[in-house]
Amino acid sequence: MTIGILKEPKEESRVALLPEAVKTLLSWNAQVIIETDAGLSAFTDNDTYKAVGASIKSRAEVLAESDMICSIQPLSQEEISKMKPQAVLLGQMGALFNPELTKFLVQEKRTAFSMELVPRTTRAQSMDVLSSMATVIGYKSVLLAASSLPRFFPMFMTAAGSITPAKVLILGAGVAGLQAIATAKRLGASVFAFDVRQAAKEEVLSLGAKFVDVEGAKEDKAAGGYAVEQSAEFIQKQKDTIHEYAAKSDVIITTAQIPGRKAPLLVEERTVLAMKPGSVIVDLAASSGGNCALTQADQTVEINGVKIIGVGNIASELPQDASKMYGKNYINFLKLIIKDGEINLNFEDDIVKGTCVCHQGEAVNSRISEMLTQ
Amino acid sequence: MTIGILKEPKEESRVALLPEAVKTLLSWNAQVIIETDAGLSAFTDNDTYKAVGASIKSRAEVLAESDMICSIQPLSQEEISKMKPQAVLLGQMGALFNPELTKFLVQEKRTAFSMELVPRTTRAQSMDVLSSMATVIGYKSVLLAASSLPRFFPMFMTAAGSITPAKVLILGAGVAGLQAIATAKRLGASVFAFDVRQAAKEEVLSLGAKFVDVEGAKEDKAAGGYAVEQSAEFIQKQKDTIHEYAAKSDVIITTAQIPGRKAPLLVEERTVLAMKPGSVIVDLAASSGGNCALTQADQTVEINGVKIIGVGNIASELPQDASKMYGKNYINFLKLIIKDGEINLNFEDDIVKGTCVCHQGEAVNSRISEMLTQ
């Protein structure tokens, strides 16, 4: 079989598989073809791919010759149509929230897997791109905040007096939030974190941060570790607490997202106006509406001296290590669907089934079939 | 007496004295007048200055009415002429290497102090702006490097495999270099440092970094802690050692400067070409010619995938804390020349004498008089 890697769109610097991952595929007796310059924005040239045994081809050749294509950003319908009818397509398609693409894949009787569908189980952890990219995003969000802040993060005791550490408030202690906490602590900031899930409290404390408690949150174990929607009363209490902490904070990093819905509003306009000039808000939920009322997606705005950074595809800004982690996730998943150098789909496996968008046009998992009937 | 604070030029975000420093001056029975919006780029508005008891005035008023002006960037000759004849001017004028301005101050029979002349003695440490700004510069240089690197600084052990820590090589372990080492270590990098001064070795090791030894360096205790020029043989050995370490490094931060001379060339073109694509060089000596052969001052260039950042006035990019530290240094120095709310210059004091450019047109310290006769 032949596995193809495409050059991602211009705004994406990562590549699905770096040469080290390609090497693993080759050791499974697969062929690997790489679109010219696919790795360049991740600082990997064609020769480095050739050196491990991959072939460099044009985009048209990769689309036409591959039995399997691994991408990060979803392909266009036009390009999907150029693939072999039986070829397997893998990417991060946002399949549950992209009905147009999902319906197209079904109509065209395609076989496709979407990596954000990987179940959030222990066995699937090594394939979880959302989790590995959240690590990248949490780390980068702190670098962005520290670079934008007109103050130090760490404390200093110098001959000329002392500098107090920056106060950093992290909203949401999922993987991105926890990584942001860890990175801000590393840099010497005083860190406060808030999450509606009590389970997060212990993790926050173990990283040396303080946990901001707001009582009365609803929890849902079935939400796969995600936060769920809350009562109006709780939401107001939450906003008030955040308002109170924000006025004392130099940095707020917001990470609260609910899959497929608008991000919850946590930082109101009055809260931004109560912050000190020079403060920075990094909104990691900017692309799904933002956790801050004044966030503009993919833009940095300044209101009363407070900088609000509406973060876009920030994982793409650490392209080498982000691609490396993405590739590891891919390899771990591909192990389940490649046997003896050939595609071998076992839908008895909950990970294979759960990650599948459709197999020859048929939805094989309930999340997708429910979504298609809506 | 009236002390005036000017708005710094457009490219400078710091301000000489923040409100907290102004408060101290007022407690000494001095008046303080602030140019409109002087603090804005350091996120401090006119009202905050007024609240501590300063008056807000136009630039022309501050120049005409002040008995003492504290600035950071040097004033133009035209503006100096607008000051009262007896007024005292303080700033960071680079007096020893700016003969035009120094000669002008002498001709005009001015009294001026230049903060970079503060002697490097223990007693003067609390007034040493070079040292406090080097702390800012070292910290910011690492944020710049980490933000530009396509890789993580810290090590990660994740479900999807492990990420090795970034290798950071710091050239020059003065205050900026030591702060860069400390910040890179905080962020989890593996840090190597090089300095011609053996005294730096212990400090490097105490920060948890490895010291790169090149034997045969010349040292000069009289150089006030600065490195001195080296033999051709040593310089070649040094370049070879740096070349060897560079190829294994993800980041190089160069900090080697010799006051008033071109910065030493430490990173040759062949060394840049031997580095991995995606690597980053932050050249803190860019404005004095650069430690890297391919550095362009105030620009970022990319050669073979290696980013070379020719750093400009980076202390200005942390304007709040940098201004705070600058102000503390100023207050500690002003304590020596203000008594009972009046200017009182005691040239018996080695710090007052050493920092003085000229007093009523007379050079009072040997470094300036030597420079004037050259």
| Catalytic residue set of A | 120, 125, 128, 131, 226
With 90 as the cut, is the pLDDT of residue A196 above it? no
Query: Helix or strand or coil: residue B225?
Result: coil
SS3 of chain A: helix, strand, coil, percent, to 5: 40, 20, 40
With 90 as the cut, is the pLDDT of residue A222 above it? no
Q: Please, which residues bridge with residue A63 across strands?
A: none
Q: How confident is the model at residue A214 (pLDDT cuts 50, 70, 90)?
A: confident
In a domain, A261, yes or no: yes
Do A151 and A283 belong together in one domain? Answer: yes
Inter-residue contact B39 to B18 (CB < 8 Å): yes
CATH number at residue B162: 3.40.50.720
Output the pLDDT for position A232.
86
Catalytic residue among B120, B151, B186, B367: B120
Q: Is B131 a catalytic residue?
A: yes
Among A311-325, B78-92, B208-222, the minimum mean pLDDT is found in B208-222
Q: Is B245 a catalytic residue?
A: no
| Amino acid present at A17 | L
Inter-residue contact B327 to B52 (CB < 8 Å): no
Distance CA B306, CA B277 (A): 5
For residues B67-84, average pLDDT: 98
B181 and chain A in contact, CB less than 8 A:
no
With 70 as the cut, is the pLDDT of residue A276 above it? yes
> Angle at Cα A11 formed by Cα A9 and Cα A14, nearest 5°?
75
In a domain, A374, yes or no: no
Distance CA A88, CA A81 (A): 12
Inter-residue contact A46 to A26 (CB < 8 Å): no
Output the pLDDT for position B118.
97
- Name the residue among B244, B288, B286, B293 with its Cα closest to residue B266: B293
Query: In Å, how far from its chain's centre is CA B87?
Result: 26
For residues A102-124, average pLDDT: 96
- Name the residue among A330, A364, A371, A338 with its Cα closest to residue A350: A364
Do B293 and B235 belong together in one domain? Answer: yes
Q: How confident is the model at residue B269 (pLDDT cuts 50, 70, 90)?
A: very high
**DSSP H or E stretch at residue B179:** helix B175-186
Exposed/middle/buried for residue A302 (C-beta within 10 Å: 0-12, 13-18, 19+)? exposed
For residues A50-76, average pLDDT: 98
> In this complex, do A318 and B151 lie within 8 Å of one another by their Cβ atoms?
yes
- Name the residue among A237, A235, A285, A284 with its Cα closest to residue A263: A285
Nearest neighbour of B160 by CB, restricted to A132, A146, A159: A132
Distance CA B134, CA B205 (A): 20
B188 and chain A in contact, CB less than 8 A:
yes
Angle between helices B175-186 and B129-148 (to 10 degrees): 40
Distance CA B200, CA A37 (A): 44
Angle between helices B366-373 and B99-107 (to 10 degrees): 100
Inter-residue contact A329 to A17 (CB < 8 Å): no
Domain total of chain A: 2
End-to-end CA distance of chain A: 36
- Name the residue among A139, A84, A80, A64 with its Cα closest to residue A114: A80
Q: Phi and psi dihedrals of B111, rounded to 5?
A: -110, 120
Output the pLDDT for position A316.
97
Exposed/middle/buried for residue A189 (C-beta within 10 Å: 0-12, 13-18, 19+)? buried
Shortest distance, CA B276 to any CA of chain A (angstroms): 9
Distance CA B141, CA B318 (A): 11
Query: In Å, how far from its chain's centre is CA A194?
Result: 20
User: Which residues, numbered 63 to 102 in chain A, qualify as contacts with chain B under a Cβ-Cβ cut-off of 8 Å?
Assistant: none
- Name the residue among B73, B71, B63, B7 with its Cα closest to residue B40: B7
A208 and chain B in contact, CB less than 8 A:
no
Q: Phi and psi dihedrals of A312, rounded to 5?
A: -95, -130
Q: Please, which residues bridge with residue B280 across strands?
A: B251, B307
In a domain, A121, yes or no: yes
Domain region containing A177: 135-317
Catalytic residue among B13, B131, B190, B279: B131
Q: How many CB atoms lie within 10 A of CB A36?
A: 15
Task: Tell me what ipTM this predicted complex has.
Answer: 0.94
Measured between alpha carbons, how far is residue B162 from residues A318, A321, B16 in Å? 16, 10, 47
Distance CA B2, CA B66 (A): 5
Output the pLDDT for position A78.
97
- Name the residue among B304, B184, B202 with its Cα closest to residue B253: B184
Question: Which of A186, A307, A316, A326 to probe by mutation at the B interface, max B CB count within 10 Å?
Answer: A186
With 90 as the cut, is the pLDDT of residue A151 above it? yes
Q: Please, which residues bridge with residue A205 across strands?
A: none
Distance CA B164, CA B174 (A): 28
Chain B residue with the nearest C-alpha to that of A306: B43
In a domain, A373, yes or no: no
Q: How confident is the model at residue B18 (pLDDT cuts 50, 70, 90)?
A: very high
Nearest neighbour of B42 by CB, restricted to A13, A150, A163: A150
Nearest neighbour of B125 by CB, restricted to A135, A159, A188: A159
Non-local CB neighbours of B310 within 8 Å, separated by 6+ positions: B283, B286, B290, B295, B296, B297, B298, B299, B300, B301
Q: How confident is the model at residue B72 (pLDDT cuts 50, 70, 90)?
A: very high
For residues A114-122, average pLDDT: 96
> In this complex, do A320 and B151 lie within 8 Å of one another by their Cβ atoms?
yes
> In this complex, do A126 and B319 lie within 8 Å of one another by their Cβ atoms?
no
> In this complex, do B324 and A43 lie within 8 Å of one another by their Cβ atoms?
no
Q: How confident is the model at residue A227 (pLDDT cuts 50, 70, 90)?
A: low
Output the pLDDT for position B226.
62
Catalytic residue among B73, B186, B226, B367: B226
Chain B residue with the nearest C-alpha to that of A128: B160
Measured between alpha carbons, how far is residue A128 from residues A91, A121, A227, B153, B180 in Å? 12, 9, 18, 22, 35
Question: Which of A48, A183, A317 to probe by mutation at the B interface, max B CB count within 10 Å?
Answer: A183
With 70 as the cut, is the pLDDT of residue B221 above it? no
B142 and chain A in contact, CB less than 8 A:
no
DSSP conformation letters of B62-93: HHHH-SEEE-SSPPPHHHHHTS-TT-EEEE--
Sign of torsion over alpha carbons B268, B270, B274, B277: positive
> In this complex, do B328 and A126 lie within 8 Å of one another by their Cβ atoms?
no
Distance CA A119, CA B137 (A): 46
Chain A partners within 8 Å of B303 (Cβ) = none
> In this complex, do B144 and A147 lie within 8 Å of one another by their Cβ atoms?
yes
Residue B92 token pair = 């960071």
pLDDT in tens, B294-352: 999 999 999 999 999 999 999 999 999 999 999 999 999 999 999 999 999 999 999 99
Chain A partners within 8 Å of B144 (Cβ) = 147
Nearest neighbour of A160 by CB, restricted to B143, B186, B328: B328
Query: Helix or strand or coil: residue B161?
Result: strand
Distance CA A235, CA A239 (A): 6
For residues A157-164, average pLDDT: 88
Angle between helices A129-148 and B129-148 (to 10 degrees): 150
Do A183 and A252 belong together in one domain? Answer: yes
For residues A242-252, average pLDDT: 97
Q: Please, which residues bridge with residue A359 across strands?
A: A362
Q: How many CB atoms lie within 10 A of CB A10?
A: 7
Do A155 and A215 belong together in one domain? Answer: yes
B114 and chain A in contact, CB less than 8 A:
no
User: What are the CB-based long-range contacts (under 8 Å, 24+) for A202-205?
Assistant: A203/A173, A203/A178, A204/A173, A204/A178
With 90 as the cut, is the pLDDT of residue A158 above it? no
For chain A, percent of residues with pLDDT exceeding 70: 97
In a domain, A235, yes or no: yes
A139 and chain B in contact, CB less than 8 A:
yes
Shortest distance, CA A320 to any CA of chain B (angstroms): 5
Q: How confident is the model at residue B217 (pLDDT cuts 50, 70, 90)?
A: confident
Inter-residue contact A333 to A118 (CB < 8 Å): yes
Domain boundary pick from B302, B317, B332: B317
Output the pLDDT for position B260.
81
Output the pLDDT for position B259.
82
Do B307 and B338 belong together in one domain? Answer: no
Chain A partners within 8 Å of B150 (Cβ) = 13, 42-43, 318-321
Do B168 and B290 belong together in one domain? Answer: yes
Chain A residue with the nearest C-alpha to that of B145: A143
Residue B8 token pair = 């710094």
DSSP conformation letters of A142-157: HHHHHHH-SS-SS-EE
Q: How confident is the model at residue B215 (pLDDT cuts 50, 70, 90)?
A: confident
Nearest neighbour of A125 by CB, restricted to B143, B146, B159: B159
> In this complex, do B147 and A147 lie within 8 Å of one another by their Cβ atoms?
yes
Question: Which of B133, B320, B332 to probe by mutation at the A interface, max A CB count within 10 Å?
Answer: B320
Domain boundary pick from B317, B339, B355: B317
With 70 as the cut, is the pLDDT of residue B142 above it? yes
Distance CA B88, CA B66 (A): 9
| Amino acid present at B236 | Q
Query: Helix or strand or coil: residue B280?
Result: strand
Q: How confident is the model at residue A258 (pLDDT cuts 50, 70, 90)?
A: confident
Do A44 and A153 belong together in one domain? Answer: no
Output the pLDDT for position B232.
87
Output the pLDDT for position B160.
79
Do A10 and A151 belong together in one domain? Answer: no
| Amino acid present at B74 | P
| φ/ψ bin of A268: left (φ > 0), alpha (ψ from -120 to 50), beta (otherwise) | beta
Measured between alpha carbons, how far is residue B79 from residues A207, B105, B330 in Å? 54, 12, 21
In a domain, B374, yes or no: no
Output the pLDDT for position B161.
84
In a domain, B330, yes or no: yes
| Amino acid present at A281 | I
With 70 as the cut, is the pLDDT of residue B277 above it? yes
SS3 of chain B: helix, strand, coil, percent, to 5: 40, 20, 40
Shortest distance, CA A26 to any CA of chain B (angstroms): 19
Do B120 and B146 belong together in one domain? Answer: no
Do A35 and A106 belong together in one domain? Answer: yes
Average pLDDT taken over every residue of chain A:
95
pLDDT in tens, A58-68: 999 999 999 99
For chain B, percent of residues with pLDDT exceeding 90: 89
For residues B175-202, average pLDDT: 95
For residues B23-42, average pLDDT: 97
Distance CA B164, CA A18 (A): 16
In a domain, A161, yes or no: yes
Angle between helices B319-337 and B129-148 (to 10 degrees): 170
Distance CA A201, CA B130 (A): 43
Question: Which of B185, B325, B331, B351 to probe by mutation at the A interface, max A CB count within 10 Å?
Answer: B325
User: Which residues, numbered 261 to 280 in chain B, qualify as contacts with chain A under a Cβ-Cβ cut-off of 8 Å?
Assistant: 276-278
Chain B partners within 8 Å of A185 (Cβ) = none
For chain B, the farthest-separated pair of C-alpha atoms sits apart, in whole angstroms, at 71
Do A175 and A149 belong together in one domain? Answer: yes
pLDDT in tens, B245-263: 999 999 999 999 888 889 9
pLDDT in tens, A2-26: 999 999 999 999 999 999 999 999 9
User: Which residues, numbered 8 to 37 in chain A, qualify as contacts with chain B under a Cβ-Cβ cut-off of 8 Å?
Assistant: 13
Domain boundary pick from A302, A317, A332: A317
For residues A31-43, average pLDDT: 98
Chain B partners within 8 Å of A148 (Cβ) = none
Could you tell me how many CB contacts below 8 A there are between chain A and chain B?
Answer: 116
B161 and chain A in contact, CB less than 8 A:
yes
Do B193 and B337 belong together in one domain? Answer: no
